[in-house]
Structure 1
């Protein structure tokens, strides 16, 4: 399992973290940016299935947002993962994913993780491939939402990555 460096800690988000999550997502350069309001709601309603990494002063410098799928309560859907540019290259995205799934697996029978990745997002592809390897899981891929389904202009397809079954990390 990948852990955060000692000076950083993984925690549940709070509503007070919503603005930081929005800023980190906006500055990521690769995520679809949701409204600032949605990040506030996410930190309120889905804090139990999300995580932040905090710097020494307590500020959120990275996050993973997710939810347990209502139609498949053994599956965590990872919505977004992002780390502030000043903190990249330290393995924080991997530590966030590992920390969140370890917490959830201790609370409920999570056996799979799903996420969507647009073609060409090599960083996300590598992050989730390495996650699967650490958890002894297979990775299935299929187009979940084709480009033509998006009403707001050109959008790459969203490819569903299904990782499972999960085992305890190595």
Structure 2
């Protein structure tokens, strides 16, 4: 994600200002499909699934769902359109859509894909790693990044996870607010765990060094996720 303060700097996250906003996106929401799931603390699951079928007043109708196996190229295009994400190889997004769909999400507005989360499931650690969050410019600044994250963690299409990890650049204030906001609203514990130094990230000749990234964690206690 980016803010006016860091606009133009490439980031692993790309929804400028969705970042932790408590206000729900300005639209009507439909529940993502799927069975299972559990109650989330502080109404996070209700926010992840709330909404109706029609807006009727010009507001977009949003829906959040897992990506289809053939939507890797779509995720790659959205990453490029954000203008702030590090758009990786199209092959990487194909792998996410085909192999890690359960840990990823697509956001639609009136049936048109406008955002995504690319994640990697870590079942042996009872959690998932959020690799990228991207939102098309017309839908940025609308709380969509946080809404997708809540739908991924608490939606009915998958059981909720106990832990979530991501890396965030120290100066990326919008991404910090997004993850901290989701943790606060859902009763999770937010903490910074480690620093990934610049030498871990290869850059081309003449390119500026990649800034360090901080590994963050949101952990939810068992009692908070109990039915």
Query: TM-score, normalised on structure 1?
Result: 0.86
Alignment pair present for 1:42 and 2:96:
yes
Equivalent runs, 1:91-102 vs 2, <5 Å = 91-102=143-154
Unaligned runs of 5+ in 2: 1-43, 53-60
The structure whose Rg is larger is 2
C-alpha distance in structure 2 between counterparts of 1:95 and 1:109, whole Å: 15
Asked if structure 2 preserves the Cα contact closer than 8 Å seen for 1:20 and 1:61, the reply is no
What's the RMSD between the two structures over aligned residues?
A: 2.2
Asked if structure 1 preserves the Cα contact closer than 8 Å seen for 2:100 and 2:121, the reply is no
Residue 156 of structure 1 corresponds to 211
Does 1 or 2 have the higher relative contact order (CA < 8 Å, sep 6+)? Answer: 2
Alignment pair present for 1:66 and 2:142:
no
Unaligned runs of 5+ in 1: none
1:57-85 C-alpha deviation (Å, 9 max, x unpaired)? x331101111222541x111111111111
Query: TM-score, normalised on structure 2?
Result: 0.66
Return the offset for 1:33: 1.5
How many residues of Structure 1 are paired with residues of Structure 2 in the alignment? 165
**Which SS does the other structure have where 2:71 is aligned?**
helix
Return the offset for 1:15: 3.1
> Structure 1 or 2: larger strand share?
1
